Amino acid sequence: MGSIFYMGDRLLTSSGIDKKSAREKLEEAINVCEKHGLVLALDVVFPREELVDDILSFVGEFNIPLFLDSPDPAVRAKAYLRASEMGLKKLSIANGLYVDSPREELEALRNSGIETSVLMAFDPKDPYTSIEPEKRLQIVRRLLDAARDTGVKNVLVDTVVLDPSSIYLSGEAIHRIKSELKLPSGSAPANALGGATKERLGVEGTVGVHGGAAAFLRMMGADFVMYGPVSRAKYVAPVVSMVDSLLGYGLRRSGVRIEGRHPVKTLLKELQQIFTRG
């Protein structure tokens, strides 16, 4: 999952959004993910209310999952309602439900008819305690009740990352939530790795840090990984594809039939052929 139009994104301009550059970056990320047998989803971060319509009409063209996000709950609420009114309900995922989500946002989600929401397994008022995996389980159980009240039918859990070390705790929480609650889960290591850029670490370091974090979370069971700016897909997708190819091989050995395009059918097959020819 790549992020776009967040505060500080160069694709934001004084008058709105740079659609030409955004289209180029999005198409590149989609192509990279397709090449590696992955599905791209978009974390659409609305910086302010007046840009909601313009951003939705733009991202809606790409027919990919849209996680509707904003640091402002009032903006999230508007995005839910407008996405439904603009015919984007099936692509839209509310991002998301918090322990302190205001009533107005919950009502907007209910009225929008959006059927999928992210549950944020973290309490910002109690960061030191709620970062622990056991506490996250308790929070998710509470949020499941809130989700049902809004009419949400499908949920995903975000085991929130605060700093680089907490990526481990996020992974542990993913494993426990999937094991005990059977809910699809993931997280956003990018929240802690924004400074790990190619300018600071070089290309090799960037691939190592962002790809390594994604690989760790995938091995812990993550169903989605929010890797940061959408253009960073080229650094992360090949790593996740390799992990998926091996996980897919394990599933095949256990008798699971893998449908559709998957790295086990493409990347691992290619690697086997290279090995044989070598």
Specify whether the CB–CB gap between 26 and 60 falls below 8 A: no
Given this model, what pLDDT does residue 122 score?
95
Going residue by residue through the chain, which has 278 residues, state the pLDDT in tens, using 9 for 90 and above: 999 999 999 999 988 999 999 999 999 999 999 999 999 999 999 999 999 999 999 999 999 999 999 999 999 999 999 999 999 999 999 999 999 999 999 999 999 999 999 999 999 999 989 999 999 999 999 999 999 999 999 999 999 999 999 999 999 999 999 999 999 999 999 999 999 999 999 999 999 999 999 999 999 999 999 999 999 999 999 999 999 999 999 999 999 999 888 999 999 999 999 999 97
Given this model, what pLDDT does residue 58 score?
98
Strand duo 224-225 + 66-69: pairing: unpaired
- Alpha carbon of residue 65 to chain centroid: 10
CA distance 278 to 8: 47
Backbone angles phi, psi at 67, to 5 degrees: -90, 110
Specify whether the CB–CB gap between 158 and 186 falls below 8 A: yes
Domains in the chain (CATH in brackets) are: 2-247 (3.20.20.20)
**Helix/strand/coil for 32:** helix
Unique residue bearing structure tokens 């709620």: 130
Backbone angles phi, psi at 215, to 5 degrees: -65, -45
DSSP state of 255: T
